[in-house]
Structure 1
Amino acid sequence: MILQVTVTKYLPTNVYFYVDEESKHGFIIDPGAEADKLKKVAEERGFVMEKILLTHGHFDHIAAVNELQEAWGAEVYMQEKGKIYAENPAWNLSDQLGKDIILHDVNYLPDNAVITLKDKPDFRLQLRHVPGHTSDGCIYYSEQDGVAFVGDCVFRESYGRTDLPGGDEETLLSKITERILTLPKETVLLSAHSEETTVEHEMKMPWYAGRLK
């Protein structure tokens, strides 16, 4: 089960609950604000959130993490280059809000790491490192459900900005081509700031011309 909840305190950001329908255990991806709203959704639906997964460390993806971590006892995961974003408000951009955000007790994962539910290892996501928007940017791919949670790497007919700390446009375009557009064409891409798209649709975009083989 995938449930999208949009939070709007800072920027409209799509938060995703990815939950096993049988056990109601699951993951929450990019809880960027409004912790009370997200807790209410989980409570009303009987969700047990085992893990908080971050596609990258910008404030609009992490601002609710500390409160949810405390409320649920959930483990927090991000790509291994995310430490500077988790611990440095200048890098996660929260210093611009006048409210410094620092994450604690984060588990840092390497490329291709697999995240599973505690008692159901077949319910899994694979972390794929896609730097360029940030140096720690990643997606979480579910082969069994044919979906990838892509954060700010890819938007429908667009891609993430690259002019912030750790960003690089050439790197982002190259890694999108290598790590996302090589997934099965029917894979649904769920981003943080746009409607859903597919690998097949994004392969048609001109900025990938000449990169695809």
Structure 2
Amino acid sequence: MILQVPVTAYITTNAYFFIHDGDQHGFLIDPGAEADRLYRIIQEHKFTIERILLTHGHFDHIGAVAQLQSMLKVPVTMSEHGYEYVENPTWNLSESFGEPLTLSHVDYLVDGTIISLKETPSFQLKLIETPGHTTDGAIYYSKSDAVAFVGDTIFKSSYGRTDMYGGNEEMLFASITKKILRLPDETTLLSGHSDPTTVAEEKKMPWYAEDRKDVIPII
């Protein structure tokens, strides 16, 4: 089961519940705001969240983490490069909005790490590093469910900005073309700020072209 929940503080961001249908255990991905609302959803659906997963460390993806971590008593996981953002309010952009934000007690994992449920280890996600929007960008891919939670690396018909701390356009397009668009065509891509899309659909975009004037980057 996948439940998409748009949450808003300064920016609306898609948070996702990725839940095993058998026992209602699962993961919460990118809880960027509205911790109390997300917690109510967990209670209403009787979810057991085993981990909070972060695609990158921008404030609109980590804003509700500290409060939920306190409520749920669960680990928080992200790319090994995430410390550059969650420990630095300038890099995670929260300082620009007058509310400096940092996180502690984060598990930093290397590229290729498999994250599994305790009781159902076959229910898993693979962390794949996709730097470019940020240096710590990562996606979480489930081959069995043909889905990838892609954060702000790629959107429906667009891609993430590279003009903020740690951004790098060359790295971003390498991440998109060499990692995301090499997943099976039927893979659904669930992003932080757009409707769902698929690998097959995004292969129609001019990702491989030198001139990308017709593709406007977002958030």
TM-score by length of 1: 0.97
Provide, for residues 28-72 of structure 1, a one-character-per-residue CA deviation record: whole Å limited to 9, x for no partner.
000000000100111000001110000000000000000000100
Determine the structure 1 residue equivalent to 2:56: 56
Deviation at 1:99, TM superposition (A): 1.0
Deviation at 1:74, TM superposition (A): 1.1
Give the Cα–Cα distance (whole angstroms) in 1 for the partners of residues 145 and 137 of structure 2: 22
Deviation at 1:206, TM superposition (A): 1.1
Deviation at 1:88, TM superposition (A): 0.4
Determine the structure 1 residue equivalent to 2:155: 155
1:37-186 matches, cutoff 5 A: 37-186=37-186
Letter in 2 for 1:35: A
Give the Cα–Cα distance (whole angstroms) in 2 for the partners of residues 122 and 75 of structure 1: 19
Deviation at 1:209, TM superposition (A): 3.6
Provide, for residues 107-166 of structure 1, a one-character-per-residue CA deviation record: whole Å limited to 9, x for no partner.
000001110111111010000000000000010000010000000000000000000001
Determine the structure 2 residue equivalent to 1:196: 196
Deviation at 1:84, TM superposition (A): 1.2
Give the Cα–Cα distance (whole angstroms) in 1 for the partners of residues 78 and 68 of structure 2: 15
Give the Cα–Cα distance (whole angstroms) in 1 for the partners of residues 125 and 46 of structure 2: 21
Provide, for residues 65-84 of structure 1, a one-character-per-residue CA deviation record: whole Å limited to 9, x for no partner.
00000100110000001111
Unaligned runs of 5+ in 2: 211-219
Determine the structure 1 residue equivalent to 2:217: none
Preserved CA contact (<8 Å) 2:89 2:95: yes
Give the Cα–Cα distance (whole angstroms) in 2 for the partners of residues 42 and 3 of structure 1: 11
Preserved CA contact (<8 Å) 2:59 2:101: yes
Preserved CA contact (<8 Å) 2:177 2:207: no
Indicate the RMSD between aligned Cα atoms, in angstroms: 0.8
Determine the structure 1 residue equivalent to 2:3: 3
Provide, for residues 81-119 of structure 1, a one-character-per-residue CA deviation record: whole Å limited to 9, x for no partner.
111101000010110121111101000000011101111
Identity %: 57
Give the Cα–Cα distance (whole angstroms) in 2 for the partners of residues 10 and 75 of structure 1: 26
Q: Which has the higher helix share?
A: 1
Determine the structure 1 residue equivalent to 2:36: 36
Give the Cα–Cα distance (whole angstroms) in 2 for the partners of residues 119 and 97 of structure 1: 41
Give the Cα–Cα distance (whole angstroms) in 2 for the partners of residues 126 and 71 of structure 1: 26
TM-score by length of 2: 0.94
Corresponding position: 1:207 with 2:185 = no
Give the Cα–Cα distance (whole angstroms) in 1 for the partners of residues 7 and 72 of structure 2: 19
Unaligned runs of 5+ in 1: none
